[in-house]
Amino acid sequence: MASEIVRHEGVVLCAAVSPYRATREEVRSRFEKDKFIEAYINTPVDVCADRDVKGLYAQAKAGKIKGFTGIDDPYEPPVRPELDIDTVAMTPEEAADAIIRYLKEASFLPAKA
């Protein structure tokens, strides 16, 4: 659906969350060049665990949840994402601003928006 909207000059934001590089590259292949942006929300697994209000990382570390990304299932970071958002160095507001700034600079959003 997203690729069809983009084909008609629309802009779509999707959370195509996948720990596997091949899956993300397959999604990228559905779009024309320069019509797809991969945003790497770069957060070390220990920071994810510290921020986990549901306790899922602790459960995974204890073996209660199997196939948990970053614990007993790999995460393959992107090789060349268009955006690399370092959530340790940035506040959530700064991260959002960086994403919006990039979208404006790449003409996905109007400069005045």
The 10s digit of each residue's pLDDT in 32-50 is 888 889 999 999 999 999 9
The active-site residue, picked from 3, 18, 29, 107, is 18
Residue at 111 is within a domain: no
Residue at 22 is within a domain: yes
Residue at 7 is within a domain: yes
pLDDT tops 80 at residue 81? yes
Q: What is the CATH number of the domain that holds 91?
A: 3.40.50.300
pLDDT tops 80 at residue 82? yes
Contact (CB, 8 A) for 105 and 83:
no
Contact (CB, 8 A) for 108 and 101:
no
Tally of structural domains, the chain = 1
Residue at 55 is within a domain: yes
pLDDT tops 90 at residue 17? no
Residue at 34 is within a domain: yes
pLDDT band at 2 (very low <50, low <70, confident <90, very high): confident
The H or E element that residue 84 is part of is strand 83-86
Domain that holds residue 8: 2-105
Specify the higher pLDDT residue, 71 or 12: 71
Please state the pTM of the whole predicted model.
0.82
Residue at 113 is within a domain: no
Residue at 112 is within a domain: no
- Please give the torsion angle defined by the CA atoms of residues 67, 70, 75 and 79, in that order, rounded to the nearest 10 degrees: 180
29 tagged catalytic: no
pLDDT for the residue 89: 97
